[in-house]
Amino acid sequence: MFWGLTLEPGKRYTKTVDHDFHISAAVLDTSCGDDELVRVIVEVDINEGEIIIANLSQKYGILQTQLDLQFGAGSAVAFYTDGGTAPVHLSGYMIFEDDDFSFEKDGQNLNADGIDVEGGVEEEEEEEEEEEEDEDEEEEEEEEEIVPVKEELDDMVDGKRPGSDKNDKKEAAPEKVEQKKSPTTKSPKKDKLPKDESKTPNKTKEKHEKALVQSPGASQTPSKPPKVVLSGGVTCVDVKVGTGKEAKKGKMLVVHYEGRLMSTKKVFDTVNTGKGFKFRLGKGEVINGWDVGFEGMKVGGIRKITCPPHMAYGKQGAPPDIPPQATLLFTVELRNVY
């Protein structure tokens, strides 16, 4: 279900969330207002403090930005803007559980797929019961062996949405096919084993764990650090997460860095030794991409920051090293925050 909110300048919008909802975009209203930079700010609960989720400006051509923010039921949230006089439109969608989408039609109970629960389902269940009675002992054993494997795989899946029965069925189906094709499950030696031993979940679990260990590249390939898209299209990848003080707006930062042109990978500037480069975050002392990209970083961390042209040197560039409309890639290390 669609969700939207218009943030008027000088007004604060607060609410305790009734249903989970997701914010997908922030769009600047260009029909009115000035060209000043507009910061979109959100506060979650009382102790979280203010968080800038977007910087929009007609002057710099930043008219909208994509967001991926989700707020849970019961949270106390507040939205407002800072700077400029142009309104900002937030848009997204409400998040409901599958149980909320049930309908009644002509006296029949229909679920979300439009299936008659009281009528057709009972007939299908009777047919399924008859088919289950006709299944031979070998199929029953295979199904029982699949159960612990599926449970184990479910435990290994990260980010599974609770209550998603349909996803569970889809994930179980290909696993069942692999069990039937596996030479281990159809080995003639299987009949020689005691019946109770072949149905033991622990034994099947051990076989599956051995298969995962022996599978080439199954657990040896390290996962890549996630890429985060920030305001203005700036992207960040944390090569190393720091453990020291956090970089916040208004703080003085000391950094080492190396800057390259994205198009040619040519190094145009570097400070990797000595006391490093100092600047105050969020005060316009550096390019916009740095003010956005360093925020939230901790001392000791190493981050790759990619700045699109409008968040770097734009149409003018910085001759002779940086041409116009150049996308810049920085590898930065946060040395100190004070």
> How is 43-105 classified by DSSP, letter by letter?
EETTTS-EEEEEEEBTTTTB-EEEEEEEE-TT-EEEEEEESSS--EEEEEEE---GGG--EEE
φ/ψ (deg, to 5) at 147: -55, -55
- The mean pLDDT value for 141-147 works out to 51
Contact, 202 vs 36, CB < 8 A? Answer: no
| Distance between CA atoms of residues 288 and 282, nearest Å | 8
Residue 97's pLDDT is 67
Residue 16's pLDDT is 86
Buried b (16+ CB within 10 A) or exposed e, 270-289: eeeeeebbebebbeeebbbb
User: How far, CA to CA in Å, does 169 sit from each of 141, 160, 181?
Assistant: 19, 13, 19
Residue 322's pLDDT is 95
The pLDDT tens digits for 30-43 are 888 788 888 888 88
Confirm whether 103 is domain-assigned.
no
CA torsion angle for 9, 15, 21, 23 (degrees, to 10)? 20
| Distance between CA atoms of residues 315 and 125, nearest Å | 67
Residue 140's pLDDT is 55
Domain boundary among 94, 129, 145: 94
The pLDDT tens digits for 260-293 are 999 999 999 999 999 999 999 999 999 999 999 9
Residue 183's pLDDT is 43
Q: Any idea how long the chain is?
A: 338
| Distance between CA atoms of residues 142 and 147, nearest Å | 9
Q: What is the pLDDT confidence band of residue 333, given thresholds at 50, 70 and 90?
A: very high
Residue 30's pLDDT is 85
Confirm whether 87 is domain-assigned.
yes
Residue 174's pLDDT is 44
The pLDDT tens digits for 188-237 are 444 444 444 444 445 555 545 544 444 444 445 557 788 899 999 999 99
Residue 49's pLDDT is 72
pLDDT of 177 higher than 60: no
More confident residue, 49 or 64: 64
Confirm whether 186 is domain-assigned.
no
- The mean pLDDT value for 148-174 works out to 44
Record the pTM.
0.38
Residue 50's pLDDT is 80
Q: What is the pLDDT confidence band of residue 245, given thresholds at 50, 70 and 90?
A: very high
- The mean pLDDT value for 244-251 works out to 96
The alpha carbon dihedral of 96, 98, 101, 102 has a sign of negative
Q: What is the pLDDT confidence band of residue 312, given thresholds at 50, 70 and 90?
A: very high
| Distance between CA atoms of residues 26 and 63, nearest Å | 9
Q: Kindly report the CA angle at 183 between 177 and 184, in degrees rounded to 5?
A: 100
The pLDDT tens digits for 84-104 are 888 999 999 988 765 444 444
Domain boundary among 30, 64, 94: 94
Task: Please report, for the domain that includes residue 33, its CATH number.
Answer: 2.60.120.340
Identify the top-confidence range among 46-60, 80-94, 231-245.
231-245
Residue 308's pLDDT is 97
Confirm whether 267 is domain-assigned.
yes
Q: Is 70 exposed, middle or buried (0-12, 13-18, 19+ CB in 10 A)?
A: exposed
Residue 35's pLDDT is 80
Q: What is the pLDDT confidence band of residue 55, given thresholds at 50, 70 and 90?
A: very high
Confirm whether 135 is domain-assigned.
no
Host domain of residue 37: 2-94
Residue 142's pLDDT is 57
Q: Indicate the number of domains in the chain.
A: 2
Confirm whether 6 is domain-assigned.
yes
Task: Please report, for the domain that includes residue 260, its CATH number.
Answer: 3.10.50.40
- The mean pLDDT value for 49-73 works out to 86
Q: What is the pLDDT confidence band of residue 138, given thresholds at 50, 70 and 90?
A: low
Q: What is the pLDDT confidence band of residue 136, given thresholds at 50, 70 and 90?
A: low
**Which residues, 6 or more positions from 65, have their beta carbon under 8 angstroms from its beta carbon?**
25, 26, 54, 55, 56, 231, 232, 233
Confirm whether 19 is domain-assigned.
yes
Domain boundary among 41, 74, 94: 94
pLDDT of 14 higher than 70: yes
φ/ψ (deg, to 5) at 335: -95, -35
Q: Of 121, 112, 22, 125, which is closest to residue 67 (Cα–Cα)?
A: 22
- Average pLDDT of the chain to the nearest whole number: 75
Confirm whether 102 is domain-assigned.
no
Q: What is the pLDDT confidence band of residue 117, given thresholds at 50, 70 and 90?
A: very low
